[in-house]
């Protein structure tokens, strides 16, 4: 509920024009006054204007003030309501108080007394709304804190588990890397010696070697994660990184029947950063795009454009698209729609974090069932 800081609002409900208009004249200098000549019209104004106090006649033809009071209490139990009673109608006034009116004043009323009563009641409503507002804010803050804490706890336990995992994975990876290099050298030698060989095997081995190296670099980075000193950023070419990523993802695209096309800027598009991090950030988005259109054998287009101060990388696919509800969650850790298909839901979370660390950004635009475009923006290095 919003608390207005403008003039307080008073709603006057009275079927007689005389008291209605005299109240309007009396209150106009200090309040915004709305008037209604019956309960129905009053209820409409109550919903529209959210007044701070209602002044209502008890005796009205049709729906009486007492019935009106019941209706008001159903809508807003805490809004101040002052009843206007006929002279000497003490019993009706008491009934109104019993039914939840906050005050009453007899007609004909004294102007000073009316101003006092209205002043007190406006303050009463406003105080109540402010405390309600503060309570709602505290509740909302509490909820956000609780969610944040739960997320942090999950991440902390994952951190613990992955530290062990990283340690165990490091050794076999090193061995594989060594053997891959050995094999590549043997193949090269046999080619030079004129032996028949398969040229594509060398290319494929190179890609394996490159990616195993990437795994090793990722592991080193994980192991230094949390240490006080972050690695210093260096100048890297986004165009080069992009070409490497596309080469690496190409096998996955071919295997999935997805047409992966690219149009990469011929400039270097130099940014300051950590090449391993940038690579994994971009790779996550391209792999997602390939996965999103694997089922319908669609296509993915990756473009890279250099502007005056930044470079934009667009990853467009004509895959499944993302619904608005999902879009609000895709950057949350562990959000995935690929349960049971190896998705951890950490890809875009990591990408966003890396881009933030590099003063960059990521945006998404999607039509469910049709297409999705992710745009990654990174600031160019000052030349
Ligand atoms: N191009 C896309 N088209 C449709 N949905 C997408 C696309 N990119 C991301 N998503 C949605 O965002 C979710 C989160 O993506 P994210 O990369 O964080 O995790 P994941 O791909 O599910 O798992 P992981 O990356 O760990 O393998 C995906 O599960 C998918 O629902
Ligand atoms: Mg992913």
pLDDT in tens, 321-372: 999 999 999 999 889 898 766 677 888 988 999 999 999 999 999 999 999 9
Ligand 1 atom nearest the C-alpha of 348 is 18
DSSP 233: P
The tokens for 97 are: 């108080």
Q: Is the CB of 208 under 6 A from ligand 1?
A: no
At 293 the pLDDT is 94
Ligand 1 atom nearest the C-alpha of 288 is 8
pLDDT averaged over every residue in the chain: 85
User: Which helix (H) or strand (E) covers residue 282, if one does?
Assistant: helix 275-292
**Residue ranges of domains in the chain:** 9-138, 231-383
SS3 56: strand
Question: Ligand nearest 362 Cα, by number?
Answer: 1
Question: Ligand nearest 367 Cα, by number?
Answer: 1
Q: Is the CB of 346 under 6 A from ligand 1?
A: yes
User: Within a 13 Å sphere around the CA of 74, how many CA atoms are in the beta-carbon half?
Assistant: 7
- Tell me: domain 231-383, CATH 3.40.50.1860, correct? no
Q: From the DSSP assignment, how many helices (H) and strands (E) are in the chain? A: 10, 12
Per-residue pLDDT at 79 exceeds 90: yes
Q: Is the CB of 322 under 6 A from ligand 1?
A: yes
At 154 the pLDDT is 77
Residue 171 confidence class, pLDDT cut points 50, 70, 90:
low
DSSP 84: E
Q: Whose CA is nearest to atom 7 of ligand 1?
A: 288
At 2 the pLDDT is 41
CB 268 within 8 A of CB 330: no
Distance CA 24, CA 7 (A): 14
- 3 has which bridge partners? none
The tokens for 232 are: 């210093």
CB 260 within 8 A of CB 249: yes
At 228 the pLDDT is 42
Distance 284 CA to ligand 1 centre (A): 9
- Residues in the chain, overall count: 383
Distance 176 CA to ligand 1 centre (A): 29
56: nearest Cα among 10, 103, 11, 13:
13
Q: Is the CB of 351 under 6 A from ligand 1?
A: no
Q: Is the CB of 372 under 6 A from ligand 1?
A: yes
Question: Ligand nearest 337 Cα, by number?
Answer: 1
Distance CA 250, CA 271 (A): 24
Per-residue pLDDT at 195 exceeds 60: no
Q: Is the CB of 352 under 6 A from ligand 1?
A: no
Distance 285 CA to ligand 2 centre (A): 7
CB 233 within 8 A of CB 274: yes
- 316 has which bridge partners? 301, 373
Distance 368 CA to ligand 1 centre (A): 14
Q: How far is CA 227 from the centre of its chain?
A: 30
Fold of 9-138: Rossmann fold (3.40.50)
DSSP 206: H
339: CB partners within 8 A, 6+ apart: none
């Amino acid at each position: 509920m919003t608390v207005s800081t403008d003039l307080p609002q008073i709603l006057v409900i009275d079927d007689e024009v005389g008291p209605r208009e005299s109240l309007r004249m009396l209150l106009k200098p200090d309040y915004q006054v709305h008037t209604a000549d019956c309960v129905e019209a009053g209820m409409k104004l109550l919903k529209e204007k959210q007044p701070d106090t209602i002044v209502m006649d008890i005796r009205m033809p049709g729906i009486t003030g007492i019935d009106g009071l019941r209706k008001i209490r159903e809508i807003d139990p805490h809004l101040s309501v002052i009843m206007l009673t006929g002279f000497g109608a003490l019993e009706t006034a008491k009934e109104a108080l019993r039914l939840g009116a906050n005050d009453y004043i007899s007609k004909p009323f004294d102007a000073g007394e009316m101003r006092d009563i209205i002043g007190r009641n406006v303050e009463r409503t406003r105080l109540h709304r402010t405390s309600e507002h503060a309570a709602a804010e505290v509740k909302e803050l509490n909820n956000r804190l609780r969610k944040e804490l739960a997320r942090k706890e999950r991440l902390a336990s994952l951190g613990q588990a992955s530290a062990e995992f990283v340690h165990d994975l490091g050794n076999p990876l090193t061995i594989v890397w060594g053997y891959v290099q050995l094999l590549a050298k043997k193949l090269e030698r046999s080619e030079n010696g004129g032996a028949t060989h398969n040229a594509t095997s060398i290319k494929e081995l190179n890609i394996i070697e490159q990616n195993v190296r990437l795994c090793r670099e990722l592991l080193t980075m994980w192991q230094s994660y949390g240490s006080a000193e972050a690695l210093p950023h260096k100048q890297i070419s986004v165009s080069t990184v992009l070409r490497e990523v596309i080469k690496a993802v190409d096998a996955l695209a071919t295997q999935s029947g997805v047409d992966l096309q690219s149009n990469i800027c011929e400039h270097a598009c130099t940014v300051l950063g950590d090449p391993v991090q940038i690579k994994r950030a971009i790779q996550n988005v391209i792999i997602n795009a390939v996965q999103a259109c694997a089922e319908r054998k669609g296509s993915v287009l990756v473009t890279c454009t250099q502007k005056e101060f930044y470079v934009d990388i667009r990853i467009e696919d004509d895959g499944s698209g993302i619904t608005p509800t999902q879009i609000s969650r895709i950057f949350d850790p562990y959000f995935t729609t690929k349960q049971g298909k190896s998705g951890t839901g950490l890809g875009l979370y990591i990408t966003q974090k890396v881009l933030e660390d590099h003063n960059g950004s990521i945006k998404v635009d999607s039509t469910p069932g049709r297409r999705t475009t992710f745009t990654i923006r990174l600031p160019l290095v000052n030349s």
